Structure 1
Amino acid sequence: MSLKNPASQTAALETIELGPFDFESGCRLESVELAYERTGPSHAPVIVVCHALTGNQAAVGTQEQPGWWAGLIGEGCPVDTSLFQVITFNVLGGCHGSTGPASMNPDTGRPFRQQFPKVTIRDMVRAQYEALKKMGIHQVKAVAGGSLGGMQAYEWGLLYPDFMEKLLIMAATPYLSDYGIAFNHIGAKAIKNDPLFQDGNYTTNESLQGFEIARMTGMVTYRSPTLFEKRFDRSNGGDTYEIQSYLDYQGDKIKERFDANSYLYLLDAMNNHDIGRNRGGWKAAAAQYKADLITFSFEHDLLYPEELISAFSSAAPKAFHKHIPTDYGHDGFLVEFEQWGRFIKDELNED
């Protein structure tokens, strides 16, 4: 498949005010807003895109700064923005314009930090639904996402089963495994045990070495051993191996673009993701989907194994599963669109 320039048209970045919002926890904020990216013809069918843990609303991005799904979304791409209108929200609890731990608490005049209400995947989806209603959108073609974004897509199909025609779920399981929770726990411990974290009242991300360690721990699970071996091959640049330098770079980079408190809130939301919660278990929940559903697993994905994703698809009506061979592991949903993007294109263009 030949993929055209994904940023050949302007993607608008905006914010929408929702007003009061009640969280699953019972907490209430009087003012919540979500930041979003919107691209494609305003009259075209809508596709809602949900981002992963350290993603944001810039799925398409710009010519100068392509988004995290540039190449999958754009004119002439599998999600063709000459045919579809694509809206991507920064999640509730995020740190790129949506209300979250770094936002100002109007009651104190200081950032919420660890005083922000506990956020669930269902809270994120409910907030996005309210935003779409305010935008005058009451039906969408599809909801798509990978990893944390896939968790949101699962919940979209259960909270609002008649709202979309299709669900496109990549590298996500109906609940987070104990293995996934274990790695999230290590990352969260590293952040919280950093002396400069100060119960979330740190001065700046730049001071948090624990945040670096959390990100490095995550990166080890996102890629496969095969890819690491091919890419680094025990090469060293003097005092350190290239793999060490790579992880150090990733640890530094995350501090420049993400808030540590938000990271912790989203980890907790992932840990508690379970479509079967209060629905009689995940198999009973799987039977409730109405939308056409396609799931993708990626070879060597340590966190979201093919067996569990395909088992879900077997239990859900109108579901189809596709396993993608790749050396990228979990991060396969962010790359190699020429390998699997055609399945997305075919699903979206199906009458």
Structure 2
Amino acid sequence: MSDDQRFGLARQVTLAQPLPLDGGGRLAHVEIAYETYGTLNADRSNAILVCHALTGDQHVASTHPITGKPGWWSRMIGAGKPVDPARHFIICSNVLGSCMGTSGPASMDPATGRPYGMSFPVITVRDMVRAQAALLDHLGVDVLQAVVGGSMGGMQTLEWAATYPDRVQAAIVIASAARHSAQNIAFHEVGRQAIMADPRWNGGAYYGTGDPPAAGLAVARMAAHITYLSEAGLTEKFGRRLQDRGEKGFGFDADFQVESYLRHQGISFVDRFDANSYLYITRALDYFDLAEEHGGLLANAFRDKRTRFCVVSFDTDWLYPTAESRAIAHALNAAGAAVSFVELSSPFGHDAFLLDMPELNQVVDGFIRAGEA
């Protein structure tokens, strides 16, 4: 296996044509940052697109350039793993609106020579998928062996199957939903308000100041991170244990281990993510409602489709609970689509799809290999 196959190739492309947007108009000079692993075979039939979650990026199986940590899904992607560069041509792109090389609010607006800031257009999950489709056109990939993603990545996977069914042979949707619930919209609004209440946000015009709204973004991350965990997981990991002290401090320092953990999550997040991108991507998630896009009936999104589906949920995920995945499976059944559905047991809540889960690897590996038989 070559170095490129092992570690991935990092690239960036500027789309040749303006990108149409659900909110109206077109976005010109769209740049997409992406990584590839493996080699596209002679008949171009082995491409797998991996879609990342809200705060993820294209560094799916390579060392992150900012944090120095392994790729966010290196447990799933690599030699001998379910998505293997020895068998597959793997593509992962940074989503539209993000901040790791794909066009977003921190990008330079060619019309003004300054960062877009809040003049960047509001986007949707379908806009993200349109950008990915344009990237695949650039790469010469007409049909995907599979699209796979968890959380927001699962929403992109569903959107791929609904919008470009002839380009998707198989879709693997993990810990996700076909629409954002009122509760999830509420959590996102708390995070957005935390960012916008930070005086350093300055209406989104903080680029170049060296003083971004780090405090607001950290609080937004802390609030969101709670939803990625489970009560059982938090109790097992932290309980009510005190942090580096024998007794309560009777003040507002981080007395408890769980407080210290959340503060660390918030502080470390601001080093790698842009506050405005957080606003834009959470809004795209809030707007996501696949049934609404297809006449109000989810099954309509999948009728007469030849795509095979695998839907996976976790029993302690309260962000996107099993009921949401079961609704997707029911809609697929109603549409006559081929679907496998499984609920896995884990104490780790929504984040289970990112952790060491041999059962998840077995499900994904078996589903992909079934399509290769």
Would you call these one fold, judging by a TM-score over 0.5? Answer: yes
Tell me whether 1:185 sits opposite 2:186 in the alignment. Answer: no
Q: Is the 8 A contact 2:310 2:340 kept in 1?
A: yes
Who is 1:348 aligned against?
A: 368
Partner of residue 241 from structure 1, selected from 252, 256, 280: 256
Partner of residue 237 from structure 2, selected from 225, 231, 236: 231
Q: Is the 8 A contact 1:27 1:117 kept in 2?
A: no
Partner of residue 121 from structure 1, selected from 117, 125, 131: 125
Question: How much does 1:287 deviate?
Answer: 3.8
Q: Is the 8 A contact 1:11 1:62 kept in 2?
A: no
Gaps spanning 5+ residues in structure 1: where? 1-6
Give the Cα separation in 1 of the matches to 2:183 and 2:330.
23
Q: Deviations over 1:63-114 (max 9, x none)?
A: 9641000010001012122111110010011100001100001111110011
CA spacing shift, 1:218–1:301, aligned 2, 3 Å: same
CA spacing shift, 1:205–1:170, aligned 2, 3 Å: farther
Q: Is the 8 A contact 1:41 1:85 kept in 2?
A: yes
- Aligned pairs (5 A) from 1:262-341: 262-288=277-303, 289-316=305-332, 317-341=337-361
Give the Cα separation in 2 of the matches to 1:279 and 1:204.
44
CA spacing shift, 1:71–1:184, aligned 2, 3 Å: same
CA spacing shift, 1:282–1:61, aligned 2, 3 Å: farther
- Aligned pairs (5 A) from 1:250-265: 250-265=265-280
Q: Deviations over 1:154-183 (max 9, x none)?
A: 100011001011000011111011111111
Give the Cα separation in 1 of the matches to 2:47 and 2:19.
24
Question: How much does 1:300 deviate?
Answer: 1.5
Q: Is the 8 A contact 2:344 2:360 kept in 1?
A: yes
Normalising by the residue count of structure 1, what TM-score does the alignment of the two structures yield? 0.94
Who is 2:252 aligned against?
A: none
Q: Is the 8 A contact 1:15 1:36 kept in 2?
A: yes
Q: Is the 8 A contact 1:186 1:214 kept in 2?
A: yes
* Identical positions, percent: 37
Q: Deviations over 1:260-307 (max 9, x none)?
A: 000110000000001112311243334424300011111211111111
Gaps spanning 5+ residues in structure 2: where? 250-254
Q: Is the 8 A contact 1:177 1:303 kept in 2?
A: no
Structure number with bigger Rg: 2
Tell me whether 1:39 sits opposite 2:37 in the alignment. Answer: yes
User: The residue matched to 1:95 in structure 2 has which SS?
Assistant: coil
Which deviates more, 85-94 or 18-27? 18-27
User: The residue matched to 2:74 in structure 1 has which SS?
Assistant: coil
CA spacing shift, 1:173–1:106, aligned 2, 3 Å: same
Normalising by the residue count of structure 2, what TM-score does the alignment of the two structures yield? 0.89
Q: Is the 8 A contact 2:19 2:130 kept in 1?
A: no
Partner of residue 94 from structure 2, selected from 68, 90, 93: 90
Higher strand share: 1
Which deviates more, 330-339 or 150-159? 330-339
Who is 2:9 aligned against?
A: 12
Q: How many residues align?
A: 345
Who is 1:4 aligned against?
A: none
